[in-house]
Amino acid sequence: MTKLALPLALGLVAFSAAAHAQVPPGYPADYAAVIDAAKKEGKVVVYGTTDAAAANFLVKDFEAAYGIKVEYNDLNSTELYNRFIAEAAAGQGTADVTWSSAPDLQVKLVNDGYAATYKSPEAASVPSWANYKDTAFGTTYEAVTFVYNKRLVPEGDVPKNHADLLKLLTSKPDAYKGKVTAYDPERSGVGYLFFTQDDLAWNQAWDLFKAFGKTEIKLYTSAGAMIERVTSGEHLIGYGIFGSYALTRSKKDPNLGIVLPNDYTLIATRVAFLSSKAKNPNAGKLFLDYLLSKRGQTIIANEAELYSLRDDVQGEATVAKVKAQVGDKVRPIQINNDLAGNLEATKRLKFLKQWQGALKGN
């Protein structure tokens, strides 16, 4: 892939030119000290839920830009959360940056004191709904989609929205028995988030969940596994799938269809924060700022295909492209304290008990 040129700052004193040369335009002059300190640290440890294949575009470009090694760990959202708090409790070091597709788990970590407050020079480019107390920042703008097998799902069956899917499953339960897949809300933090957001967004959500039970929905913790089984024909429809992963796979397999629901389309964002006990705090700041920068966001949109959060980024996987398809039907999952409240033990248990009942038809 062609690398993007990092603009050089001008008017720099000679003795610090090497460090200052990489200070992006518009950043404070003293940001050079962050770069110097980050280079001395030499590496940044990142725990992420983004597939390593997609994250690698960002990792390689960051390493090329700053000469700082990225130690990237690819985990699922629940695994990331549990590993981070266990290591933090042990006091022997954990990630400098956590970057998760489960914003509710990220907000809980922030509220529990695991994150450092940081006024990023890029904060002005982050929508207000994606900035939680200058501590946790959204980095992507990802539509939550339906996917389907174009070869095996008749055109008339393709659901354009949630009500269509409910109607399809209740009118043709035998045809779609065992053929629908989704995240498992009991084992996947992302799955729990998406289903609870559906409950907030649509008053017939539980009717749909009951229809999932009657058609024996198959549940997974990996979007990749779900997409693979839809393209193979083992399943026919995938529910609640990151549009970013679907877009990448559809370029390799044109038989994978993607639907952005026209009643409401949830917008998820991968949330990043800096550990309050980071061993490489400056390298962490540098990596977070890079994720939010126009350079990093352009790679997110056009190479990693994770959908850029910034309005000033052009390409296929951008805010403009999503809004062109669904307009004002976008429903961003706001990074706020309500997300953490949704994880409160009794509330979570109540939801999952109701979920288990729905799958049994109750």
pLDDT at 9: 37
The string of DSSP letters for 11-56 reads: S--GGGHHHHTTPPTTS-TTHHHHHHHHHHH-EEEEEE-S-HHHHH
> Is the CB of residue 190 less than 8 Å from the CB of residue 183?
yes
- Per-residue confidence (pLDDT) for residue 70, from 0 to 100: 98
- Please report, in angstroms and rounded to a whole number, the separation of the first and last CA atoms in the chain: 52
- Phi-psi domain of 238 (left: phi exceeds 0; alpha: psi -120 through 50; beta: other): beta
What is the pLDDT at residue 22?
Answer: 74
Cβ of 40: how many Cβ atoms within 10 Å?
Answer: 11
d(CA 354, CA 233): 30
Q: What contacts 191, CB < 8 A, 6 or more positions away?
A: 182, 183, 184, 185, 219, 221, 240
291 three-state secondary structure = helix
Block residue for tokens 């962050």: 34
pLDDT digits (tens, 9 = 90+) for 209-257: 999 999 999 999 889 999 999 999 999 999 999 999 899 999 999 999 9
Q: Which domains does the chain have, with CATH numbers?
A: 14-141+269-317 (3.40.190.10), 142-267+339-359 (3.40.190.10)
User: SS3 of 264, please?
Assistant: coil
Which of 197, 274, 200 minimizes the C-alpha distance to 239?
197
Q: Which residues pair with 116 in a beta bridge?
A: 274
Query: In a structure prediction context, what are the per-residue pLDDT tens digits for the chain, which is 362 residues long?
Result: 444 444 433 333 333 334 344 788 899 999 999 999 999 999 999 999 998 999 999 999 999 999 999 999 999 888 999 999 999 999 988 999 999 998 999 999 999 999 999 999 999 999 999 999 999 999 999 999 999 999 999 999 999 999 999 999 999 999 999 999 999 999 988 899 999 999 999 999 999 999 999 999 999 988 999 999 999 999 999 999 999 989 999 999 999 999 999 999 999 999 999 999 999 999 999 999 999 999 999 999 999 999 999 999 999 899 999 999 999 999 999 999 999 888 999 999 999 999 999 999 87
Q: DSSP label at 50?
A: S
How many Å apart are CA 144 and CA 265, to the nearest integer? 6
Q: Tokens at residue 352, please?
A: 């999952």
Confidence (pLDDT) at 14: 33
Helix, strand, coil fractions of the chain, as percent rounded to 5: 45, 15, 35
CA distance 182 to 42: 40
What local confidence, expressed as pLDDT, does residue 316 receive?
A: 85
Query: What angle, 0 to 180 degrees and rounded to 10, lies between the N-to-C axes of helices 281-292 and 52-66?
Result: 110
Structure tokens at 126: 């982050």
Neighbouring residues of 157: CB distance < 8 A, sequence distance ≥ 6: 168, 172
pLDDT, position 12: 35
* Spatial contact of 5 and 99, defined as CB atoms under 8 Å apart: no
Distance CA 200, CA 361 (A): 21
Which residues touch 246 (CB under 8 Å, ≥6 apart)?
A: 145, 147, 227, 238, 256, 258
pLDDT of residue 6: 43
Q: Look up residue 275 and give its amino acid.
A: S
Query: What pLDDT, on the 0 to 100 scale, is given for residue 77?
Result: 86
Tens of pLDDT, residue by residue over 345-359, are 999 999 999 999 999
Number of neighbours of residue 87 by Cβ within 10 angstroms: 16
* Rounded Cα gap, residues 150 and 156, in angstroms: 11
Structure tokens at 273: 């924060």
Whether the pTM exceeds 0.85: the reply is yes
Pairing of strands 97-100, 69-74: unpaired
